[in-house]
Amino acid sequence: MLSAPLPEDVPIGEAWVLSDRDDHSSQVANGPLKGLTISELMEAYQKPLMGKWASCFKRFPLLLKFLDAEEMLSVQVHPSDAHRDLIPADDSGKTEAWVVIDAHKDSLIYAGLKPGTTDEIELRESLANGTVTDHLAGITPKPGDGVFIPAGTVHTLGGGVVVFEVQQNSDVTFRLYDWGHVDPKTGQPRSLHVDQALACIDFAGIAGGLVAPHVETASPVERERLFDCEHFRLYRLLGEAPFPVGAANEPHVLICIAGAGRIEHHDLPYGVGKGDVWILPAEAGECVFRPSEEITLLEIKIPG
């Protein structure tokens, strides 16, 4: 689906393509800063990189991934920032969102609870008797769909679906149900975190699920706003003519999910292909993207 090489004979379910985590810090791929990690950039070049957000974040605040879910992943819940008792001191809650890249006829996404599932006792009983999916709101995904997963939302996906994920920079996940999966390393069922998951479920939540794109501009590029929450704002850009990307005094991230082209800054061209991820630093300001064919980009900014 994407261009990155993968190890042979090893199942790969997700690729972290922009990560400022202690156990996985992304590296600059080219240019004079090639080889530096994003953690090192945040330390040495925080103002040029982050602009107006320089004093607000010690780590880059977003974590970006591609997920390729052949089997159903575990049913999970992430805590919100309000659940400090459930979150390690150096971490945060996790709101996330998915853009569907590819889907099969058997692909399925669960995002949220069905109306009427209103208490922990009912859900706990369904876990015990294996009927938890009776309480989950299902979506049959198709390429291009956007699915919002605010913290506190019960969710999972699988059946051959590929998605791009944007989320808060957090690795806090509570596994509610696991379909009887066995850990290949231990031969035992994987551990669950039922009490923690139930404690952070937003039973009244209505914000999650399939979203309707909002078209903001039609020319020179069709710009759709897919997600707009306190942690991230994500646009999908579709077009063939040159168009602006980035903004003064704030970082933007570009992800190419179809087509190719180049970013131009001070008349210098930088090639962009499918699967590439670019940070446009705050000091770069507005740049020009010149497609070499029909292009689909995701552009992400920190709102505020």
Q: What is the CATH number of domain 214-301?
A: 2.60.120.10
pLDDT of 7: 41
Give me the residues of the chain with pLDDT under 70, please.
Answer: 1-12
Question: Which residues have CB under 8 Å from 133's CB, separation 6+?
Answer: 110
pLDDT of 12 reads 47
* Confidence (pLDDT) at 30: 84
Q: Is 21 known to be catalytic? A: no
pLDDT at 118: 85
The pLDDT, as a whole number, for residue 68 is 95
CATH number of 14-211: 2.60.120.10
Beta-sheet pairing, 295-301 with 252-258: antiparallel
Q: Where in the chain is the domain with CATH 2.60.120.10?
A: 14-211, 214-301
Q: Is 272 exposed, middle or buried (0-12, 13-18, 19+ CB in 10 A)?
A: buried
Burial class from Cβ neighbours inside 10 Å (0-12, 13-18, 19+) for residue 145 reads buried
User: Would you state the pLDDT for residue 32?
Assistant: 86
Q: What integer pLDDT is reported at residue 42 of this predicted model? A: 97
pLDDT on residue 75 = 97
The C-alpha atoms of residue 147 and residue 150 are separated, in whole angstroms, by: 10
Which pLDDT score is estimated for 205? 79
Q: Which of 59, 175, 233, 236 is catalytic?
A: 175
Q: Token match 């979150």: residue?
A: 87
Res 213: pLDDT: 96
* Residue 219: per-residue pLDDT: 94
